[in-house]
């Protein structure tokens, strides 16, 4: 290609210089440099808007590719030159062309967080579902790069459901990662899932429609194959208060409470309360020596309640695997259960100092967890 590419860069936006070079050697207009990049591609890469327009007018090929299979559109989008992206698309550049690793212009724009480029590409029907060689969609690129504004731009577009319905190799939608890394974008999804009727709020026929698809996909969804995915649980884990207070989430929590949540709550509360009553009664009555038969009677209710607390914990651990041990409340539950057993062993004997210490720990943790049940929160 000679020095035409370098001359395009040095003579920033100088159309006359480009025309002179073109007239001197028309055959080099679409020749590539050592990296396979033509003068038009170099102009796209460096943001020379006028040079791009001039070169295109002179007949430069806008679909030419470099050694990495990048087009001028991909290079312009990668560097955030929205005006160049638009002029290329206006002149029928293919919006969904891919490079060597199957990235489109939308992929690279999302990776770098170039919001203006993203919006223009979406306006020209860029494919939001295209996966690159690593299985990433444009939304995935934005999330991986912590580019919240780019993710928000994608999810504010009419094609947001297409972005959200793409699943990874494990069958998960992007919702969990949005909650973890881009809560601003997750908030946009929640807003999109709430539809208000066109009537005034004081109208008796005013309605609000909630779509729980992305926050509560249900037990039959592939996301719940190993352990059920429930977005509010992830929101609580990552302390996303703004998401938890959203009307969609609050509506879902209320719905679950009225459906069967209050039943589980009262059962859990009553079991804990009965456990604490037995523990306190056993502690008060233990110093009074009686027959072994009566001692066994005293111990049985406490052992029974301890078993009732241990059974669901074992089931939950088997279902969730090692993830079970990442929650603090699970550690506290098991500490309380084991401390209770230590308090009772050996059976039919007065507890020694270490037994009493275990009993104190069990009682303290029991009251702590009972208070958290009443608060409806997790320690």
| Residue ranges of domains in the chain | 68-245, 259-375
3-state SS class at 196: strand
3-state SS class at 307: helix
| pLDDT-wise least confident of 47-51, 163-167, 192-196, 313-317 | 313-317
What does pTM read for this prediction?
0.73
208 φ/ψ angles, rounded to the nearest 5 degrees: -120, 125
Cα–Cα distance measured from residue 301 to residue 280, given in angstroms and rounded to the nearest whole number: 12
Which positions ≥6 away from 6 have C-beta within 8 Å?
none
Residue 97 structure tokens:
């062309």
**For range 188-213, the mean pLDDT:** 93
Cα–Cα distance measured from residue 162 to residue 173, given in angstroms and rounded to the nearest whole number: 11
Q: Under CATH, what is the fold of the domain 68-245? A: 1.25.40
How many angstroms from the chain centroid is the CA of residue 354?
Answer: 46
Q: Give the residue carrying structure tokens 């100088």.
A: 14
- Identify the pLDDT of residue 289: 46
**Residues 312, 213, 205: CA angle, nearest 5 degrees:** 115
**For range 43-52, the mean pLDDT:** 94
Helix residue spans in 205-346 (DSSP H): 231-237, 241-244, 247-256, 262-285, 292-320, 328-344
- Identify the pLDDT of residue 313: 67
pLDDT in tens, 227-272: 788 999 999 989 999 999 999 999 999 998 888 777 878 887 888 7
- Identify the pLDDT of residue 295: 53
In terms of phi and psi (left: phi > 0; alpha: psi -120 to 50; beta: otherwise), the region of 18 is: alpha
- Identify the pLDDT of residue 379: 35
- Identify the pLDDT of residue 130: 97
| Structural contact between residues 289 and 350, judged by C-beta atoms closer than 8 angstroms | yes
How many angstroms from the chain centroid is the CA of residue 186?
Answer: 7
Residue 50 has pLDDT above 70, yes or no: yes
């Amino acid at each position: 290609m000679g020095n035409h590419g370098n001359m395009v860069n040095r003579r920033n936006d100088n159309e006359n210089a480009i025309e002179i070079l073109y007239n001197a050697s028309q055959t080099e207009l679409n020749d590539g440099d050592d990296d396979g990049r033509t003068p038009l591609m170099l102009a796209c890469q460096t943001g020379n808007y006028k040079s791009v327009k001039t070169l295109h007018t002179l007949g430069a090929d806008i679909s030419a590719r470099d050694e990495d299979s990048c087009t001028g559109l991909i290079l312009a989008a990668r560097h955030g030159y929205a005006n160049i992206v638009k002029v290329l698309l206006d002149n029928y550049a293919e919006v969904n062309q891919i490079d060597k690793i199957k990235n489109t212009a939308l992929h690279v724009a999302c990776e770098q967080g170039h919001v203006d480029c993203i919006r223009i590409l979406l306006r020209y029907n860029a494919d939001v579902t295209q996966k690159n060689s690593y299985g990433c969609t444009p939304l995935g690129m934005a999330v991986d790069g912590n580019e919240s504004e780019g993710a928000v731009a994608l999810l504010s577009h009419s094609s947001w459901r297409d972005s959200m319905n793409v699943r990874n190799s494990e069958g998960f939608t992007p919702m969990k990662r949005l909650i973890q890394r881009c809560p601003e974008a997750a908030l946009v999804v929640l807003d999109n899932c709430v539809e208000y009727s066109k009537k005034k709020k004081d109208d008796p026929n005013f309605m609000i429609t909630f779509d729980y698809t992305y926050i509560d996909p249900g037990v039959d969804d592939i996301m719940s194959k190993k352990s059920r995915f429930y977005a509010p649980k992830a929101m609580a884990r990552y302390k996303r208060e703004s998401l938890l207070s959203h009307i969609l989430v609050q509506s879902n929590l209320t719905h679950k409470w009225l459906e069967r949540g209050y039943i589980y709550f009262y059962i859990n509360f009553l079991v804990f309360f009965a456990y604490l009553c037995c523990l306190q009664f056993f502690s008060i009555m233990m110093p009074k020596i009686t027959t072994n038969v009566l001692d066994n009677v005293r111990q049985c209710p406490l052992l029974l309640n301890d078993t009732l607390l241990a059974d669901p914990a074992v089931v939950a651990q088997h279902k969730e695997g090692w993830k079970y041990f990442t929650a603090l409340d699970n550690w506290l539950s098991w500490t309380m259960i084991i401390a209770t057993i230590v308090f009772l062993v050996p059976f039919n004997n007065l507890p020694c100092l270490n037994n009493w210490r275990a009993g104190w720990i069990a009682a303290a943790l029991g009251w702590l967890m009972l208070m958290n049940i009443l608060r409806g929160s997790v320690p």
